[in-house]
Amino acid sequence: MQKSAGEKPSNDLDSSFIDDISSILSSLGSLMRTSSPSSIIGTQTLAVQHFAGILPTLAQFFDSETLAENVISFVDSIGTPKGKMIIWRLLLLNQVVTSSTFSSPASRSLLLPNIVRWIKPSLGKFEEHLHCQPKDPQTTRDNARVSWIEGLRLSTGVVAAMLDVVQEALVDPTINKNRSLLAQEHDNLEYLLGLLPRLLDSYREMQNFANLEAVERQRSQASVASISPNVFPSTYPLSLLSYPASQARRLNTGSNKTEHQEQSETWPSLQAGVGEVAAIFITLILLSPRKIFVNWLESTLEIEGKDTFARQLGQLFRVAQSIVEEEAFPSDWLNMTALAHRAVMQLAESVADILVSEFIPPPSSSFSFNTALWRDFFGMLLKLVASPQLLIENFSPQKR
């Protein structure tokens, strides 16, 4: 069928339509960069909350790489978020990671480094002097702490979602047969390893009693204890407190408490967040081939310098020891404890060579021997080999 003389070819229509969509996305980016009037924040919040909803539609008109570039452009246009905008941006990132946009190797290689860059400021220790003024009342300080912990929990959810996709890619036969795609996934792992120092700080921050006290004082949705904790949350508001596993099981089943159980009952805590960071730590160590992990250690040493690197290694060993000592998971969680022991053994094997080559000084400089670092290393190693979880002779037949 021939087109009439004035009829526009279909590909021209498609091209014009795509140009119009691109123009709208560009205008949306300009909107996000606008700072006045102050009421514009409401419109910007709505844009961030609903941007992920248009990704399936945009995928019909853009290839995966172009779509990833549009996502990167939009999130960058948000700038440095403040207040609740931090939460909405993290929720947007979680939606992006769990969408088909992130499932393509080509788009993932573009998105993952940027997502790591975006979430890094939301991980780590809470620095009160950066969020509060000296004369701020306790309520303001508590709100700042609770907001930080909420962002920390949502950030770990984003990291877990990325690790899940990368793990599936690493066992995909198609990717394993393609050297270029496999190298690309190893690059993705290296980017994720770059979050490890912040994750170590996050682990210790989740154990900080000051955060628990702030959550309990705030009396908001965050302080309502969840019987079944929302692991790696992707929605907001969220409950930060949860009961210990044994107590949660009793509450779920509605069983009556014995006198012994009443005496041993504990208050809700932030333990779910500790377990989440520990699970990410274990997964990162187990997923990383030894060569990649050692390369990351060596590049960190070169960039950070010997003293900073030694402090990071010491914290790495202390967190690993804490996990082996069952501070993150109950002792009866067989799968998690088995994976934790395997990860710590793999960590010790990977770190041993760099410890010997970089942290054993010559006899003439014995005064510079880093006793604290080696104490942390051997403390981790001894806790591992002396762990009750390795006493096979004490296992039940089912556990064997």
Asked if the model's pLDDT at residue 8 lies above 50, the reply is: no
Average pLDDT over residues 144-169: 97
| Tokens, residue 135 | 């004369």
Round to whole Å and give the CA distance between 315 and 98: 31
pLDDT given at position 252: 59
Q: How many CB atoms lie within 10 A of CB 239?
A: 21
Contact 149, 211 (CB under 8 A): yes
Predicted confidence band of residue 1 (pLDDT cuts 50, 70, 90):
very low
Helices (H), 254-333: 259-264, 271-287, 290-304, 306-324
Q: Is 399 exposed, middle or buried (0-12, 13-18, 19+ CB in 10 A)?
A: exposed
CA 14 remoteness from chain centre: 39
pLDDT in tens, 85-114: 999 999 999 999 999 999 999 999 999 999
Query: Which segment of 41-55, 254-268, 272-286, 321-335 scores lowest on mean pLDDT?
Result: 254-268
pLDDT given at position 285: 97
Sign of CA dihedral 40, 41, 44, 50: negative
Asked if the model's pLDDT at residue 24 lies above 90, the reply is: yes
First to last CA, the chain: 74
Q: Please list the residues that pair with 193 across neighbouring strands.
A: none
Round to whole Å and give the CA distance between 308 and 148: 25
Contact 104, 88 (CB under 8 A): no
Distances (CA, A) of 193 to 47, 65, 328: 31, 24, 20
Long-range CB pairs of 348-355, under 8 A, 24+ apart, other chains included? 348/377, 348/380, 348/381, 348/384, 349/290, 350/290, 350/293, 350/294, 350/297, 351/297, 351/313, 351/316, 351/377, 353/294, 354/294, 354/297, 354/298, 354/301, 355/313
Q: Is 355 exposed, middle or buried (0-12, 13-18, 19+ CB in 10 A)?
A: middle
User: Phi/psi class of residue 277: alpha, beta or left (left: φ > 0; alpha: ψ in -120 to 50)?
Assistant: alpha
pLDDT in tens, 183-209: 999 999 999 999 999 999 999 999 999
